[in-house]
Chain A
Amino acid sequence: MMKEATLRVFRGDSKGGQTVDYRVPIAPGMVVLDALHYIQGHLAPDLAVRWNCKAGKCGSCSAEVNGRPRLTCKTRMDDLPVDQPITVLPMKSFPRIKDLVTDVSWNYRVNRKIPAFEPRPGVEWKISQLDVDRVQEFRKCIECFLCQNVCHVLREHDKMEQFAGPRFFVRIAGLEMHPLDGRDRAGLLKDQLGIGFCNITKCCTEVCPEEIRITDNAIIPLKERVVDEFYDPLTMLFRKFRGDKVQSV
Chain B
Amino acid sequence: MTANYETREHDVLIIGAGGAGLRAALEALAQGASVGVVCKSLLGKAHTVMAEGGIAAAMANVDPADNWKTHFRDTMRGGKFLNNWRMAQLHAQEAPDRVRELEQWGALFDRTEDGAILQRAFGGHTFKRLCHVGDRTGLEMIRTLQDRGVHQGIDVYMECTVTRLLTDGGRVAGAFAYWRETGRLIVFKAKSIVIATGGIGKAWRVTSNSWEYTGDGMALACEAGAELMDMEFVQFHPTGMVWPPGVQGILVTEAVRGEGGILRNKVGERFMERYDPKRMELSTRDVVARSIYTEVKEGRGTEHGGAYLDISHKPAEYVKKKLPSMYHQFKELADVDITKGPMEVGPTCHYMMGGVRVDAETAQSTVPGLFAAGEAAAGLHGSNRLGGNSLSDLLVFGRRAGLAAADHAKRVAAPSLDNAQIEQAEKELLAPFSNTGTESPYAVHRDLQEVMQNLVGIYRTQEDLKKALLDLEKLKARAAKASVEGSRLFNPGWHLSYDLKSMLIVSEAVTLSALARTESRGAHSRIDYPNADPVWEKKNNIIVHEGGEMKRRESPVPEMPPDLKQILAEDKA
> A residues near B, CB below 8 A?
13, 27-31, 34, 40-42, 44-60, 74, 76, 97-99, 101, 103-105, 108, 111-112, 115-117, 119, 125-129, 132, 135-136, 139-143, 171, 175, 178, 181
- Contact check, A41 vs B442: say whether CB atoms are below 8 A apart: yes
Residue interface bits B473-510, CB-to-A below 8 A is 1, else 0? 00000000000111101111110000000000000000
Alpha-carbon distance A161/B291, docked complex (angstroms): 57
Alpha-carbon distance A115/B50, docked complex (angstroms): 26
A-B contact count (CB 8 A): 167
Alpha-carbon distance A44/B485, docked complex (angstroms): 8
In the assembled complex, 26 residue pairs joining A and B whose CB atoms fall closer than 8 Å, in A order, are A29-B243, A46-B491, A49-B492, A50-B42, A51-B211, A52-B210, A52-B212, A53-B45, A53-B47, A56-B325, A56-B329, A57-B325, A58-B210, A60-B45, A74-B332, A74-B333, A97-B489, A97-B490, A111-B150, A116-B106, A125-B100, A128-B111, A139-B140, A140-B136, A142-B49, A143-B45
Question: Contacts of B493 on A, CB cut-off 8 Å?
Answer: 40, 45-46
Main secondary structure on chain A at its contact with chain B?
loop
- Contact check, A29 vs B111: say whether CB atoms are below 8 A apart: no
Q: Say yes or no: is B41 at the interface (Cβ < 8 Å to chain A).
A: yes
> B residues near A, CB below 8 A?
41-45, 47, 49-50, 100, 103-106, 108-111, 114-116, 118, 133-134, 136, 139-140, 143, 147-148, 150-151, 158, 181, 208, 210-212, 243-247, 250-251, 325, 328-329, 332-335, 440-443, 446, 484-487, 489-494
Known: A46-B487, A126-B114. A54 touches B150 (CB 8 A): no
- Contact check, A55 vs B106: say whether CB atoms are below 8 A apart: no
Question: Contacts of A178 on B, CB cut-off 8 Å?
Answer: 106, 108
A108 to chain B, nearest CB (A): 7
Question: Contacts of B335 on A, CB cut-off 8 Å?
Answer: 29
Alpha-carbon distance A118/B158, docked complex (angstroms): 26
A82 to chain B, nearest CB (A): 15
A142 to chain B, nearest CB (A): 7
Alpha-carbon distance A39/B67, docked complex (angstroms): 53
- Contact check, A59 vs B45: say whether CB atoms are below 8 A apart: yes
Known: A30-B244, A40-B442. A46 touches B42 (CB 8 A): no
Alpha-carbon distance A112/B61, docked complex (angstroms): 35
Most chain B CB within 10 A, of A46, A76, A143, is at A46
Question: Contacts of A98 on B, CB cut-off 8 Å?
Answer: 181, 489-490
- Contact check, B492 vs A47: say whether CB atoms are below 8 A apart: yes
Cβ-defined partner of B49 (8 Å) among A48, A53, A105, A116: A53
Question: Contacts of B442 on A, CB cut-off 8 Å?
Answer: 40-42, 45
- Contact check, B246 vs A58: say whether CB atoms are below 8 A apart: no
- Contact check, A139 vs B108: say whether CB atoms are below 8 A apart: yes
Question: Contacts of B332 on A, CB cut-off 8 Å?
Answer: 56, 74, 76
- Contact check, B181 vs A97: say whether CB atoms are below 8 A apart: yes
- Contact check, B106 vs A175: say whether CB atoms are below 8 A apart: yes
Alpha-carbon distance A87/B346, docked complex (angstroms): 34
Alpha-carbon distance A125/B96, docked complex (angstroms): 14
Alpha-carbon distance A117/B105, docked complex (angstroms): 7
- Contact check, B140 vs A112: say whether CB atoms are below 8 A apart: no
Question: Contacts of A117 on B, CB cut-off 8 Å?
Answer: 105-106, 147
Alpha-carbon distance A212/B246, docked complex (angstroms): 26
Alpha-carbon distance A125/B41, docked complex (angstroms): 34
- Contact check, A29 vs B139: say whether CB atoms are below 8 A apart: no
A85 to chain B, nearest CB (A): 20
Alpha-carbon distance A129/B116, docked complex (angstroms): 9
Question: Contacts of A127 on B, CB cut-off 8 Å?
Answer: 108, 111, 115
Most chain B CB within 10 A, of A49, A57, A171, is at A57
Known: A41-B442, A126-B116, A175-B106. A46 touches B136 (CB 8 A): no
Question: Contacts of B158 on A, CB cut-off 8 Å?
Answer: 105, 108
Alpha-carbon distance A41/B42, docked complex (angstroms): 23
- Contact check, B245 vs A116: say whether CB atoms are below 8 A apart: no
Question: Contacts of A104 on B, CB cut-off 8 Å?
Answer: 42
A52 to chain B, nearest CB (A): 4
- Contact check, B50 vs A57: say whether CB atoms are below 8 A apart: yes
Alpha-carbon distance A132/B150, docked complex (angstroms): 24
- Contact check, A116 vs B100: say whether CB atoms are below 8 A apart: no
The residue in chain B whose Cβ has the minimal distance to the Cβ of A116 is: B151
Question: Contacts of A45 on B, CB cut-off 8 Å?
Answer: 440-442, 484-486, 492-493
Sort A-B residue pairs by CB-CB distance and give the 5 closest, nearest first: A29-B244, A46-B486, A117-B106, A45-B493, A126-B115
Known: A108-B150, A132-B108. A29 touches B247 (CB 8 A): yes
- Contact check, B108 vs A135: say whether CB atoms are below 8 A apart: yes
A16 to chain B, nearest CB (A): 13
Question: Contacts of A125 on B, CB cut-off 8 Å?
Answer: 100, 103-104
Alpha-carbon distance A139/B137, docked complex (angstroms): 10
Alpha-carbon distance A31/B147, docked complex (angstroms): 32
A107 to chain B, nearest CB (A): 9
Alpha-carbon distance A127/B115, docked complex (angstroms): 5
Question: Contacts of B44 on A, CB cut-off 8 Å?
Answer: 143
- Contact check, B334 vs A29: say whether CB atoms are below 8 A apart: yes
Alpha-carbon distance A89/B73, docked complex (angstroms): 53
Question: Contacts of A135 on B, CB cut-off 8 Å?
Answer: 108
B37 to chain A, nearest CB (A): 13
Known: A29-B247, A45-B485, A125-B100. A57 touches B139 (CB 8 A): yes
Known: A49-B492, A139-B143, A143-B44. A55 touches B250 (CB 8 A): yes
Most chain A CB within 10 A, of B245, B440, B492, is at B492
